[in-house]
A = this chain, B = another copy of it.
Amino acid sequence: MTDEEFAAVVEGVRETVDPSTAERERMEGVAQELRRRAEGAVDELPVDADVLQVGSTARNTWISGDRDIDVFVRFPTELDREELEEYGLDVGHSALPEGHEEYAEHPYVKGVVDGFDIDLVPCYDVEDAAAIRSAVDRTPFHAEYVAGRLDADLAADVRLAKQFLTGIGVYGSDLRTRGFSGYLTELLVLAYGGFREFVEAAAEWHPPVELDPEDHGDETFDDPLVVIDPTDPERNVAAVLSADNVARLQHYARDLLADPREELFFADQPAPLSDAAVEAAIAERGTTPVAIRFAAPDVVEDQLYPQLSRSLDGITEALDRRGFDVVRSTAMADETAVLLAELAVDERPAIERHEGPPVHVREHAAGFFEKYADDESAYGPFVEGERYVVERPREFETAAAFLRSDQLLDVRLGTHVASALEADHEALIGEEVASLAGEFGVELAQYFEPEP
């Protein structure tokens, strides 16, 4: 790689990600109007409050085409929670007459103005970020910290970094992605002094990597990347980031440096697999995929994906424990949700080995021996090493039999997944899994044609 190649690629990406003057002016016009409306509504309230714009559009790190404007109304801490919510909604509805209420930490109003998606959110005006009452109270501190440090060049590099992280699939701190948040990206570009410097550093990381921009951290974290929040010494900004995504960033950072190209910045969703292509992949791999399919629980994604993940762990552990070796597994959700496990072994013999206690633990051992000595269906007990061992009939000789039994519901499942399975579900075995291609062709392509 030459520096020129890298610079040329970056220039090309900038043309896409940097908002045009017209776009910027339009956004600023809408934001200004919104702030004005909100301030007018605050004047009608019996309490004082200030209005501030936060998020990427407030600090010049938004990417062309982003249409999210976040306006916060900051109330005194003397207000109790009900008052804050009431006043917050008052301001929201009067600033966004067409808006509707949603609920995150507090209820808030969401609406569309001139094509921009507006969130109008109440929060408390706490003394510092360590004193917050809910996560949204922290946002103004982040806004202030970053705004005071990012000049135009660094802000432009943050846009590049966000686009790169998006392109390689690791941008977003939602619990489906478990990637890099906007704030984390800003702190990393600030810490390393630019996009290229960030990429070069990431290529060399040896996790756990610890950054503490304000040098005030005093807790220890068990995460692959630790970035102590400059506004809160007790918080790791990268807490939600998965080890996979750290490794992915490292992989693609090296790839970008070795062979700079614009395509790395722009996600390339694979073409969906057809039923026939799934069947062909199964045949080529010689495995037995199995899937549990059910109506996707009606909860937000940040609830849904951790529950799917926990449920998938529960099912793969249960399969592995019964000798149905899982090669790989994944969860998918759209209208229906699917827990898919690909098995290397889908059938076991009629017997299973079952180790008893050491013979010298007399009472235990005698109990075990008596239990099986007269059991015609068991081989043994015999002695192996210091223990009694029997070979007894296996409960499930096939993975299909287990997955179609009531015991599927006894595995560790997310709460809403458990209810959904109890209501209704189907088990797909082997080639039957190909029928998922209609709803999940892209996810199956990602599964059967895995990229870093």
Binding site for B on A (CB under 8 A): 203-207, 224, 243-244, 246-248, 250-251, 254, 284-288, 323, 325, 327-328, 344-345, 348-353, 358-360, 362, 365-366, 369, 379-388, 391, 397, 448-452
Within 8 Å by CB of A285, from B207, B244, B349, lies B349
A452–B383 touching, CB < 8 Å? yes
A387–B247 touching, CB < 8 Å? yes
Smallest Cβ-Cβ distance to A358: which chain B residue? B247
A247–B386 touching, CB < 8 Å? yes
Shortest C-beta distance, A316 to chain B (Å), equals 13
Shortest C-beta distance, A223 to chain B (Å), equals 12
B359–A250 touching, CB < 8 Å? yes
B349–A328 touching, CB < 8 Å? no
Shortest C-beta distance, A225 to chain B (Å), equals 11
A385–B243 touching, CB < 8 Å? yes
Q: Which residues of chain B come closer than 8 Å to A388, judged between CB atoms? A: 247, 251, 452
Q: Which residues of chain B come closer than 8 Å to A358, judged between CB atoms? A: 247
Complex CA distance for A379 and B349, rounded to whole angstroms: 30
A391–B285 touching, CB < 8 Å? yes
Contact of A349 with B327 at beta-carbon distance under 8 Å, contacts A388-B452, A397-B286 already known: yes
B327–A391 touching, CB < 8 Å? yes
Tally of this chain's copies: 2
Q: Which residues of chain B come closer than 8 Å to A325, judged between CB atoms? A: 323
B350–A344 touching, CB < 8 Å? no
Complex CA distance for A446 and B15, rounded to whole angstroms: 79
Shortest C-beta distance, A160 to chain B (Å), equals 22
Q: Which residues of chain B come closer than 8 Å to A448, judged between CB atoms? A: 379
Smallest Cβ-Cβ distance to A206: which chain B residue? B360
Can you list 9 A-B pairs, Cβ within 8 angstroms, ordered by A?
Answer: A205-B360, A244-B384, A246-B386, A251-B369, A285-B349, A323-B344, A344-B348, A345-B348, A379-B448
A349–B397 touching, CB < 8 Å? no
Q: Which residues of chain B come closer than 8 Å to A381, judged between CB atoms? A: 452
Complex CA distance for A136 and B207, rounded to whole angstroms: 62
Shortest C-beta distance, A286 to chain B (Å), equals 4
Complex CA distance for A387 and B246, rounded to whole angstroms: 10
Complex CA distance for A203 and B361, rounded to whole angstroms: 10
- Residue of A206, A254, A381, A382 with highest tally of chain B CB at under 10 A: A382
Q: Which residues of chain B come closer than 8 Å to A203, judged between CB atoms? A: 362
Complex CA distance for A204 and B381, rounded to whole angstroms: 19
Q: Which residues of chain B come closer than 8 Å to A348, judged between CB atoms? A: 286, 344-345
- Please give me the 5 A-B residue pairs with the lowest Cβ-Cβ distance, nearest first: A286-B350, A286-B349, A382-B450, A247-B359, A287-B349
Q: Which residues of chain B come closer than 8 Å to A205, judged between CB atoms? A: 360
Within 8 Å by CB of A327, from B204, B251, B351, lies B351
- Residue of A247, A323, A362 with highest tally of chain B CB at under 10 A: A247
B323–A386 touching, CB < 8 Å? no
B353–A327 touching, CB < 8 Å? yes
- Residue of A205, A243, A328, A349 with highest tally of chain B CB at under 10 A: A349
Complex CA distance for A248 and B353, rounded to whole angstroms: 19
Shortest C-beta distance, A282 to chain B (Å), equals 10
Contact of A379 with B450 at beta-carbon distance under 8 Å, contacts A243-B386, A285-B391, A323-B325 already known: yes
Q: Which residues of chain B come closer than 8 Å to A250, judged between CB atoms? A: 359-360
Q: Which residues of chain B come closer than 8 Å to A285, judged between CB atoms? A: 349-351, 379, 391
B286–A382 touching, CB < 8 Å? no
Complex CA distance for A142 and B302, rounded to whole angstroms: 77
Complex CA distance for A21 and B214, rounded to whole angstroms: 99
A351–B391 touching, CB < 8 Å? no
Complex CA distance for A248 and B359, rounded to whole angstroms: 8
Q: Which residues of chain B come closer than 8 Å to A207, judged between CB atoms? A: 360, 386
Complex CA distance for A349 and B351, rounded to whole angstroms: 22
